Structure 1
Amino acid sequence: MPKPPVSEPVAELLAKANPATITTLRKDGTPVSVATWYLWQNGQVLVNMDVSRKRLEHMRRDPRVALTVLDSDGWYRHVSLQGRVARLYTDGDLTDIDRLARHYIGKQYPERSRGRVSALIDIDQWFAWGIDD
């Protein structure tokens, strides 16, 4: 698997509002994958979650994560990123979730009453399928 930085075609795919899954690790090491919104910014991935999500507990205990991004125009084009949560922080004013929502649905995030946490992920390695360099 290549190390960062990602190639320009991969960065272009990551910049789009494509479907993605994030994988975290349970206490016993079992991987758990869920759908997620993400933003590619300055070579890092930003994700955001409700404070009650189990994946937040997993990230706090073990920062290793994987993110797979599928090209919405053709799922045989995808990128898998492996990395570590570099920073977890409270999204108190919902700035990050609003950025994600505008990226994916074109408006601010509708649920305003629940606490949110953001995670910035550093990429250790990546693999692309069906993307020409």
Structure 2
Amino acid sequence: MSTKTIPEEFLDLFEKRAYGHLATIMPDGHPQVTPVWVDYDGEYILVNTSRGRQKDRNMQRCPQVTLEIQDPDNPYRYLEVRGVVAGATEEAAVAHIDKLAKKYTGAEKYPWLAPGEVRVIYKIKPERVIPH
């Protein structure tokens, strides 16, 4: 059964170190899939990336995305989220990637931030959520 919201019984995936697999569309129409760290603010799924990366360019051009988030404790339990990019911001993006780094790596700060790197938070609005 699909919905437009994240089912309550799957919200724990956003508290765990559950990796997402983000599918975006390349200019030639092929899908491009990238493992990503994920966050949820109660309305949007948040994905943080660097400006200029392929997924950044793809989402700027084509806002339709699909995200699969798998339970690290049970690989047969996962969410498929089909959605649309509802916005993007560079504001507080470094603080956000630091928060995600703490969750996923235990580090207080994102350890791979390059000098001059610009981070961006993409807000993905779920349009169809399929729990498995």
Q: Same fold (TM over 0.5)?
A: yes
Gaps of 5+ in 1: none
Is the 2:48–2:121 Cα contact (8 Å) retained in structure 1? yes
In 2, are the aligned partners of 1:15 and 1:40 still within 8 Å (CA)? no
Aligned to 1:125: 128
Partner Cα distance (1:39, 1:6) in 2? 12
- Deviation sequence 1:33-63 (CA, Å, 0-9, x none): 0110010211311111111211111000010
SS at match of 1:48: strand
The alignment of Structure 1 onto Structure 2 pairs a total of residues equal to 129
1:70 is matched with 70
TM-score of the superposed pair, with normalisation by structure 2: 0.89
Q: What's the TM-score once normalised by structure 1's chain length? A: 0.88
Structure 1 runs (4+) deviating above 6 angstroms are none
Q: CA RMSD in A?
A: 1.6
The one-letter amino acid of 1:6's match is I
**Residues in 2 aligned to 1:42 and 1:68: alpha-carbon distance in whole angstroms:** 17
Q: How high is the sequence identity, in percent, across the aligned residues? A: 28
Unaligned runs of 5+ in 2: none
Distance 1:92 1:115, change over 3 A: farther
